[in-house]
Chains A and B, each alone.
Chain A
Amino acid sequence: MHNLRARRWANVAAVYAFLLLLSIVFMGPFVFAFLSSLKDNPTEWPPSLLINQLRPVNWGASYRLAKQGGGNGFLGGMGPGGSIEFEVTYWTPEGQEPAPPEVVIPRRVQGGAAAALAVEHWAADYVQVVDLEEVKREPAEGGLTTTYRFRLVNTGEVALDPVPMDLTVPMRQQFVSATLAPNRIERLGRAQSWNNVSAGLLPYVFGNYARVFRENYSASTGKGLFLLWIRNSFFLAVTRVITTLIFASMAGYALARLNFRGKQGIFAFLLFSMMIPQQVTFISNYLVLRDGIFGLSRLFGVPTLLNTYAGLIVSGLVGASSVFIMKQFFERLPASLEESARIDGASTYTVFFRIMLPLAKPPLGALTILTFQGVWNEFFWPLVVITSPADRFPLTIGLLNLQRAYGAATFDWGPILAGTFISALPVIILFIAFQQYFVEGISFSGTKG
């Protein structure tokens, strides 16, 4: 008896150990990539999880500094007349006289020329460094540490964001600590630089995420691109969910429960279409949209459906697999449901809308989730149809664009990873909230983008 219980425990322990080990395999890359998306440099070697953005000390400091600067503690910024007090500590080897750091507010912004155009007022023009003084000197191992304090004052009448800062010290003098940890330490430890000392809590912790929104502007309208892409994807997903729900249930009902000529043929055709890769038919579909569906779109004053949402929506009104799911569902309903209504003389439409459709909530739920996820993640067809301008991209194509923008010279992985996670967030939330529908949907149809 005792032995049996021990065995059961060992069994459970083994199962859990295995489950946890595999969790690392499946979740590991995702979690690690997410944590790295908070880092200043996601490609540092060796990859480390000691992330400045995740240390509570820096959370407090970034909140306080923004507050001092007269901005919002959470969102940052430096108001007119704002004053930030900053302390920094260095170590100097024996025999060398410690020197105060040279404080510079550089004319610099992350994200290159496009981001620079969006800056209205440069902090470099307004912020002055005052009261630089040594406040503490202590002996330390092999030398001594000195602490300096100074204030940054906004002398202008305008709000400033961001306020970058560079500190430089003589050779061999080493950086120890500062009010807020620097974003980069360069030139063999001589120069420490901050992207934004008045960032505020959220832009500090989610610096790369803020960059994604801040640094991508449309060349034609000047609007922030990333937000547009999110909106576009939402619009497309919602529209296509609606058309799919309506048209798939209509077609599914007809194929499942009505008798008419050509029914078998249509169903066989549907099955055949599910086997043929999209890359076969897209050649013609591209031309059909280019010519506005045999010129029909001209009636609405639109010469071509390329680069339009109308094109994407019309060509994706309803997918064969969605019809298949609905047909499977309607077939399983008992015939008696319909018969009594038919005897009372109800028309097909009445039966469909009044009796059958209200029963179809479970498959429609699964279809909603599946379609939303499918459209949100769709890549190939939008890549073909929407090529310009960047304002019209859905999020997947936008991400491709983002990768090109930040990967032009050397890869600036921070914003790329951040953009990736923002775009994955909606489907992850959907998944957590409606897990059951995902499972049902997969076992219903078995098709995935």
Chain B
Amino acid sequence: MRRASSKVGEKLAPYVLLAPFLFTLIVFFGYAFVRVVYFSFTTYDLFSKPEWVGLKNYVNIFRDLDFTRAMKNSLTFMVVVTTAQTIIALLLALLLNQKVRGIRFFRAAYYMPSVASSVVVTLIFIWFFQRRGVLNFVITKFKEYQAIILLFLFAAAAIHIVLVVWEKLRRRPVSVFEPNFMFLGVLIGFIVAFGAVRFGFLVPREVPPVDIIWFNTTKTWPDFLGSLAFPIPLGAIMLFNIWTTAPTFMLLYLAGLQDIPRELYEAAAVDGAEGWHIILHIIVPQLKPITFLVVTMGLIGTLQMFDQVAILGSQAPRSSVITLAYYIYSNLFPSSAVPRVGMASAAAMFLALLTFIIVYAQRKVLGEEGENA
């Protein structure tokens, strides 16, 4: 008797263990997804019964100026942020993969911005980007000392190049980034710049405080891109978004770098490869699965951008920062109108489809290696 019941129990066990997860998956994902598909073919205001209208919503969203703006903003944001954060994450990981004392501290320090919430980061950056804020102050200072900084950089680079060329002419083996020469270049550049200021050849310029308006503006940048230029507030959001997400992905790359077998480097060194050659031809191909993961996550994440727009609220013009996610939200909870669930759902379906297509296309481009990552 006991055996029989336990046999049934054994058969049911997997489903019992899965039950809570299946509940959330079915109710809050499966059912939700199907219902949004249905809503997208209806007009519905959250209260009265949904009415079937066929494809009307899908036609209407493309006639809605807000939607096309949101789509443009979302796509620009996705392309710029994903590209920039992937490259920066890789470079950071290469830098932080050095075996020097105290490297763990730097890893933690760089990652710090990523642990805070989007609200925290956005609020700090709204303050940072004020019209009379720290960023504009830094730009002002930079303009004041522009000539001196340029002189320093120019002198350092010139010394470095002369030394490298000199060594090359004498047919000595020398790397283009020979650290000794770099050190010498920086030192002499510093002395030159300091001397120029000390003896009055160069003085800091008088410049009025820079007051770039970062958020409350409808201006776009850069001008030569015409209609492809992105709104300045969106650009500001991009800047601080890259700042917070690049370190997250840096961690992934770092883990990947540590998995690359030492023999590969050694073999490359025997072949006489060095510097950029190793990075481009050995490290980057080895990290392909990680790159795949980083780009996929980047694309999905950037297409969902919502928090920053909601937190900025009325501090930036709606048309400059609206994204697809925010468009959906604002159609469901408009500040002063009837909720348009049908439109929101159609836009949501569009967002889901877009995510799908982009991730799929990316998989085709980058290859299939990362599939199981």
Contacts and interface: CB of A to CB of B under 8 A. Distances in A.
B310 A383 contact: yes
A435 interface: yes
5 contacts: A22-B95, A283-B35, A411-B130, A423-B117, A432-B108
A294 to B, nearest CB: 9
Interface in A22-36: 22-23, 25-27, 29-30, 32-33, 36
Contact of B325 (A279, A320, A438, A449): A279
Chain A, interface size category, equals 35 or more
Q: Which 10 A-B pairs have the closest CB atoms?
A: A377-B117, A251-B21, A284-B32, A281-B32, A348-B13, A10-B179, A260-B14, A284-B35, A247-B20, A254-B17
A72 B100 CA distance: 48
B189 interface: no
A95 interface: no
A309 interface: no
A300 interface: no
B192 interface: no
A285 B28 contact: yes
B317 interface: no
A78 interface: no
B116 A377 contact: yes
B46 A287 contact: yes
Given A26-B109, A253-B17, A424-B116, A281 B179 contact: no
A373 B30 CA distance: 26
A288 B18 contact: no
A377 B118 contact: yes
A255 B18 contact: yes
Contact of B112 (A27, A250, A284, A376): A27
B113 to A, nearest CB: 6
Given A251-B21, A279-B329, A284 B36 contact: yes
B306 interface: yes
Interface of B: 6, 9-11, 13-15, 17-18, 20-25, 27-33, 35-36, 39, 46, 92, 95-96, 98, 100, 103, 106, 108-120, 123-125, 127-128, 130, 132-134, 137, 178-180, 182-183, 209, 243, 247-248, 251-252, 255, 293, 297, 300-301, 303-304, 306-307, 310-311, 313, 324-325, 328-329, 332-333, 341, 344-345, 348-349, 351-352, 355-356, 359, 373
Interface stretch (A122-130, A217-225, A439-447): A439-447
Determine which residue in A13, A255, A380 has the highest number of CB atoms from chain B within 10 A of its CB, and name it.
A380
Interface of A: 6-7, 10-16, 18-19, 22-23, 25-27, 29-30, 32-33, 36, 42-43, 45-47, 243, 246-248, 250-251, 253-255, 258-260, 263, 266, 269-270, 273, 275-288, 293, 315-318, 320, 323, 347-349, 352, 373, 376-380, 383-384, 396, 399-400, 403-404, 411, 413, 416-417, 420-421, 423-424, 427-428, 430-432, 435, 438-439, 442-443, 446-449
A30 B124 contact: yes
A3 B297 CA distance: 46
Nearest to B104: A435
A10 B345 CA distance: 59
B6 A347 contact: yes
Contacts of B303: 277
A283 B332 contact: yes
A281 B352 CA distance: 10
A15 B111 contact: no
A10 B187 CA distance: 12
Contacts of B103: 19
Contact of B36 (A281, A377, A403): A281
A11 B180 CA distance: 8
Contact of A43 (B10, B36, B116, B133): B133
Given A279-B328, A438-B115, 5 more contacts: A32-B134, A283-B332, A377-B118, A400-B119, A439-B255
Contacts of B356: 275
Contacts of A251: 17-18, 20-22
B310 A283 contact: no
Contacts of A46: 137, 209
Contact of B116 (A247, A266, A277, A427): A427
Contacts of A13: 179, 183
Contacts of A12: 100
Nearest to B254: A439
Given A14-B183, A29-B134, A347-B9, A283 B108 contact: no
Contacts of A283: 32, 35-36, 39, 328, 332, 341, 344-345, 348
B100 A277 contact: no
Contact of B20 (A259, A286, A317): A317
A431 B115 contact: yes
A33 B18 contact: no
A275 B355 contact: yes
B120 A420 contact: yes
Contact of A420 (B113, B124, B247, B351): B124
A390 to B, nearest CB: 16
A29 B125 contact: yes
Contact of A26 (B36, B100, B112): B112
Contact of A427 (B115, B306, B313): B115
B116 A285 contact: no
Given A19-B95, A281-B36, A260 B341 contact: no
A266 B18 contact: yes
A379 B117 CA distance: 8
Nearest to A439: B251
Contacts of A259: 14
Given A33-B128, A423-B119, A276 B252 contact: no
Nearest to B108: A435
A406 to B, nearest CB: 11
B348 A248 contact: no
B127 A43 contact: yes
Nearest to B22: A266
Given A10-B183, A380-B306, A250 B33 contact: no
Contact of A288 (B27, B332, B345): B27
B29 A400 contact: no
B328 A33 contact: no
A45 B116 contact: no
A255 B110 CA distance: 36
A317 B179 CA distance: 54
A339 to B, nearest CB: 15
A254 B24 contact: no
Nearest to B325: A279
Contacts of B328: 279-280, 283
A125 B328 CA distance: 55
A23 B110 contact: yes
A373 B178 CA distance: 43
B21 A318 contact: yes
Contact of A18 (B35, B95, B252): B95
